[in-house]
Amino acid sequence: MNIHSTINRRRLLQSSLVAGAVMARPLLPGANAAPSGLSPKGLGRAAWVEMLMKVSEPVIANLAAQQLKKNMPVEAQKGHETKRAAATHLEALGRTLAGLAPWLAASGLDSAEEALRVKMAAQTRKALANAVEPTSADKLDFTVATQNLVDAAFLALGLSRAKNELWDALDTTTRERFVTALQSTRKFKPGKNNWLLFSATIEAFLASIGASWLPEPIETAITAHEEWYQGDGMYGDGPKFHWDYYNSFVIQPMLLAVLDLMKPFDARWEGHRATIMKRAQRFAAIQERLIAPDGTYPPIGRSITYRCGAFHHLADMALRRQLPVGVPPAQVRGALSAVIQRTLTPAGTFDNQGWLRIGLSGHQPSLGETYISTGSLYLCTFAFLPLGLPPSDEFWSGAKVDRSACQLWSGTDLPADHAI
């Protein structure tokens, strides 16, 4: 599929990204219909870009126009709407940014994709400025709810994933406001679980930009997760093991991000990298094998409404070019494509205005825990991290390779899987 023809067909370059207007309807015609580039046989890069825009553009465009709070619905469990409204807009921004950022920093694109990237990056910078502008109708509060700690960390992660394109391009006043906002989350004390990594990620990002930072949250998070390692590439979410996707949603990608950010400032943690990476590669192999021939995966554990974000870790390892031996990048492209297809194209996934709705395969509001709201759902963008790789990379240019489950269930003789 040619990305130029796909983008022109969908009029992406004539969307609000160019005009500066807020979307009153989905970016793509038919919010609940699968774009033509999506099929069970896999997605090409053009269709990935198309779907990432479909998901992320309403958040970024509305915030850039100071209309996010006005236009974004707050779907939540009955009776929890008001409480979730205090945090949902920062959730939407932080999570969208963390998934979108690698593509905003991508290079080597063709002219049409590059034009779209440049315009989206400019609009994202405008959205970021509005998020901390005191007079903005969409000024976000980082201290009103404990959930703010989580999404301040995702926002910091996103800024670190496109530092040159986003953080360095913001004006001095906006950067100072973000530093203050991020430091203000220190009022929240994280629980003894994956939340330790939210404080650690914020402090590591502050260190990376030359702002005042605290070493204790970083030391606590890394030390605790070393103690909580359960074996075979998986950590407990706290002292006990939980069969869910939090090793992927948060734990392993953030451990690696903290190590990356701290490398120039605290070399002692580099001694942990080889061990943490070995575990990360094992878990990436497990994640690839979890994806069934039809693109489904076990609907186990909490926060399942994050949809394809369940494979944040696999996507991150692809972006890092650190996939395990025996799992080629093109194989992961097909696996992630299948998951994106299964979780983002069913009828009911988007409302009539293009906003995500609670569910795993369509609209399934009963799947949402009491902490889930509309903004929470944008963690699904994390599956799109490999768009940060250039089109020439093996992930995109390599010949199609069936994922492990397809090969095994079709009778292919593969080597046995082994624990580490």
Q: What is the pLDDT of residue 20?
A: 36
Q: What is the pLDDT of residue 69?
A: 98
- pTM metric for this prediction: 0.91
User: How far is residue 106's CA from residue 99's CA, in Å, rounded to a whole number?
Assistant: 13
DSSP state of 418: -
Chain-wide mean pLDDT for the chain? 91
Please provide residue 350's backbone torsions phi and psi, each rounded to the nearest 5 degrees: -115, 150
Each residue's pLDDT tens digit, 295-339: 999 999 999 999 999 999 999 999 999 999 999 999 999 999 999
In order of start, what are the domains of the chain with their CATH numbers?
A: 3-24+37-409 (1.50.10)
**CA gap 85, 69 in Å, rounded:** 9
pLDDT at 267: 80
User: What is the per-residue pLDDT for 96?
Assistant: 98
Region 377-400 average pLDDT: 98
Do residues 247 and 235 make contact, with C-beta atoms less than 8 angstroms apart? yes
Phi, psi of 373 (to 5 degrees): -145, -175
Secondary structure class of 292 (helix, strand, coil): coil
User: pLDDT tens digits for 188-220?
Assistant: 999 999 999 999 999 999 999 999 999 999 999
Chain segment 262-285, per-residue pLDDT in tens: 999 888 888 899 999 999 999 999
For 7-34, write each residue's pLDDT tens digit. Answer: 443 444 334 333 333 433 333 222 233 3
